[in-house]
Chain A
Amino acid sequence: GAVVSQHPSWVICKSGTSVKIECRSLDFQATTMFWYRQFPKQSLMLMATSNEGSKATYEQGVEKDKFLINHASLTLSTLTVTSAHPEDSSFYICSATSGRARNEQFFGPGTRLTVL
């Protein structure tokens, strides 16, 4: 149980285009989802926290107009990187918690974004 999937697992796009990454909780209802980015050989940095049906809360320094987060249902959250540039290339990881186990985050497998 407690499986989180991400799609796509990797994506390559041209500079200036937008990319959408999906995060799904497959066997539980995710009341809260988190989006992280991880640069090579670095730790995970929290980008934003989203609760189903409400606006995401962004961490300091994260541009909310560039990284659009939608959490429209209890099993799906999306991250859209708008007008992507090479410096946005990174590994993006989502995680989810449920109401019953809010002390544990279940992580997705990550999405490798490369912007050319």
Chain B
Amino acid sequence: AQSVTQLDSQVPVFEEAPVELRCNYSSSVSVYLFWYVQYPNQGLQLLLKYLSGSTLVKGINGFEAEFNKSQTSFHLRKPSVHISDTAEYFCAVSDPSTSYGKLTFGQGTILTVHP
């Protein structure tokens, strides 16, 4: 079974500061990894994904994440945040061997960017 742990439930930062949202996973098999963003009362939007290849993945809105297999982590980073980045962020994992791409989500991290 797979599980995802997002270590911080809330992260407050000031505008233009860097931010890192932490994600650790546990799995007995290889995984695909995802970060999604959710704005209030909306669905989820994919920020970036790791399927294979380079461990540094770049996504939309200036976000990037690094897959670290030895530490089973997939932390999300942005060098300079904007007010508009205020949202909830979810890390998710899926098993590549399954046919349907079933996702297991972390608990979510609320990022609040202050002016």
Chain B residues within 8 Å of A, Cβ to Cβ? 32, 34, 36, 41-46, 49, 51, 90, 94, 96, 99-108
Task: Select the stretch in A69-77, A78-86, A106-114 that faces chain B.
Answer: A106-114
Q: Complex formed: what's the CA distance from A102 to B41 in Å? A: 26
| Distance in Å: Cβ of B100 to nearest Cβ of chain A | 5
- Which residues does chain B contribute within 8 Å of A4, judged by CB atoms? 43
Contact status B43-A46, CB under 8 Å: no
Please tell me if A97 contacts chain B, counting CB pairs below 8 Å. yes
Contact status A110-B49, CB under 8 Å: no
Q: Complex formed: what's the CA distance from A112 to B43 in Å? A: 11
Q: Complex formed: what's the CA distance from A15 to B16 in Å? A: 48
| Distance in Å: Cβ of A2 to nearest Cβ of chain B | 9
Q: Which of B96, B100, B106, B107 has the most chain A CB atoms inside 10 A of its CB?
A: B100
Chain A residues within 8 Å of B, Cβ to Cβ? 4, 6, 32, 34, 42-44, 46, 49, 51, 91, 93, 95, 97, 102-110, 112
Contact status B101-A103, CB under 8 Å: yes
Further pairs besides A103-B51, A109-B43: 19, Cβ < 8 Å: A6-B43, A34-B100, A34-B102, A42-B108, A43-B90, A43-B107, A43-B108, A46-B104, A49-B100, A95-B43, A102-B100, A103-B49, A103-B96, A104-B34, A104-B101, A106-B46, A107-B36, A107-B44, A110-B43
| Distance in Å: Cβ of A100 to nearest Cβ of chain B | 12
- Which residues does chain A contribute within 8 Å of B41, judged by CB atoms? 91, 110, 112
- Which residues does chain A contribute within 8 Å of B104, judged by CB atoms? 46
Q: Which residue of B lies closest to A4 (CB)?
A: B43
- Which residues does chain A contribute within 8 Å of B103, judged by CB atoms? 34, 46, 105
The 3 A-B residue pairs with the shortest CB-CB distance, nearest first, are A107-B43, A107-B44, A109-B43
Some 5 contacts from A to B, beta carbons below 8 A apart, are A102-B100, A104-B46, A104-B49, A109-B42, A110-B41
- Which residues does chain A contribute within 8 Å of B108, judged by CB atoms? 42-43
